[in-house]
């Protein structure tokens, strides 16, 4: 599973599934308390599904290139490390 992760101004990590554009938009809006989005040329369409994949990826990549977000791959299954009976 691929997710996007960013750290807010308080040092808390926030994440969203790559396929959930509304949550990704909220992540972008949290970067530097919205200042980064405000200072960019990006104005989101009201209906995020109107972006083709290439357009959407270009928006996300702009923030990744600035070092404010990162893609993280998480395995779909996480092996159990504990072998005890409790």
Using H for helix, E for strand and C for coil, what is the string for the chain?
Answer: CEEEEEECCCCCEEEEECCCHHHHHHHHHHHHHHHHHHCCCCCCCCCHHHCCHHHHHHHHHHHHHCCCCEEEECCCCCCCCCCCCC
Whether the pLDDT of residue 81 is over 80: the answer is no
Q: How many residues does the chain have?
A: 86
Give the number of other CB atoms < 10 A from CB of residue 68.
16
| Mean per-residue pLDDT of the chain | 86
Please indicate, yes or no, whether the overall pTM of this predicted structure exceeds 0.75.
yes
**At 86, is the pLDDT very low, low, confident or very high (cuts 50, 70, 90)?**
low
Confirm if 55 and 44 have CB atoms less than 8 A apart: no
Give the model confidence (pLDDT) of 39-60 as tens digits.
788 888 999 999 999 999 999 9
Residue 25 is predicted with a pLDDT of 92
């Amino acid at each position: 599973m691929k997710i996007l992760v960013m750290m807010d101004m308080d040092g808390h990590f926030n994440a969203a599934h790559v396929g959930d554009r509304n949550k990704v938009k909220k992540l972008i809006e949290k970067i530097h308390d919205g200042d980064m989005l405000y200072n960019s040329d990006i104005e989101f369409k009201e209906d995020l599904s109107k972006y083709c994949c290439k357009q959407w990826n270009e928006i996300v990549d702009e923030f990744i290139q600035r070092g404010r977000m990162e893609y993280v791959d998480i395995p779909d299954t996480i092996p159990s490390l504990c072998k005890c009976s409790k």
